[in-house]
Amino acid sequence: MNITHPDLYKVDVSFLDSRLMEAVAKGYAEYEANGFEIEDENQEFINYGIVDAVATEIAPDILTFPAFTKEFCEKLLEETLNSGVPWERNPDEDQYRSMPEIRLRELDEKLFEVYRTYVLEALSAVAYDRWKCRPHMLADAQIACYDPTNQKHGNWHHDESSDITFVVPLSDDFEGGGTEFYNQKIKVSPLPVGHCLMFPGRVTHIHRGMAVTKGKRYILTAWTKIIGAY
């Protein structure tokens, strides 16, 4: 594999959005001050302020928040496009759900490990503040491409391998796109590069990628699991 940006292969918190980092730091400081409890003496959940500070809940259990810098997204996309790793469809998925993708593990195992740290240490803190449970494992992560020729849109599906899903756009040079949720009857317009769309992956939030009419839409998706939940 060709390496274009070696700085991607080590954890660097400057790649995370400063607003997210500030909110997480304040939230965890208060969490520690409260003895790492999620309930107060009245058995009510404690609000640690992470969601209030950075996230917007646009529909039940569908949240968006700033996650990564534009620099990180641009470098990761360039790294992927210059890697020489082929775009492939998942043979385990049917023709209606599969799309051209590159898994981070196949791109580089070290890159996957670095991204796992970002997801489990920073992004999942928003999930913990919202739902009082947090992912302990990054099951998989991939970069997918939508374009009018090869994969215009996705099809309705659940993220069967994910308790909580995180989707981050890596590009904005396209028209159309976005994500539609079936049960919630909502269409989410494309987010700014580096912002994260977070939602439960199983059962309740069946969804699909909306059609791209021009250009290429690249997204980075992380599927996470809460160990011990099943």
98 SS3 class = coil
Does 109 score more than 90 pLDDT? yes
d(CA 27, CA 29) in angstroms, rounded, equals 5
Average per-residue pLDDT for the chain: 91
The secondary element (H helix, E strand) that includes residue 203 is: none
Write the burial class of residue 104 (CB in 10 Å: 0-12 exposed, 13-18 middle, 19+ buried). buried
174 SS3 class = strand
- Least confident range from 26-30, 55-59, 94-98, 163-167: namely 94-98
Task: Average the pLDDT over 89-112 and give the result.
Answer: 79
- Least confident range from 69-73, 83-87, 154-158, 159-163: namely 154-158
Write the burial class of residue 227 (CB in 10 Å: 0-12 exposed, 13-18 middle, 19+ buried). exposed
Q: What is the set of domains in the chain, with CATH numbers?
A: 12-225 (2.60.120.620)
Task: Average the pLDDT over 124-149 and give the result.
Answer: 93
Residue 229's pLDDT is 47
Is 159:217 a contact under the CB 8 Å cutoff?
Answer: no
pTM, two decimals, is 0.93
Does 33 score more than 50 pLDDT? yes
Residue 94's pLDDT is 54
Does 154 score more than 80 pLDDT? no
Strand partners, 57: 63
CA distances in angstroms from 40 to 34, 45, 183, 215, listed in the order given: 9, 6, 33, 50
Residue 97's pLDDT is 56
Strand partners, 65: 196
Is 214:174 a contact under the CB 8 Å cutoff?
Answer: yes
The secondary element (H helix, E strand) that includes residue 165 is: strand 164-169
d(CA 27, CA 46) in angstroms, rounded, equals 11
Residue 46's pLDDT is 86
Residue 203's pLDDT is 85
CA 36 to chain centre: 26
Task: Average the pLDDT over 24-32 and give the result.
Answer: 94
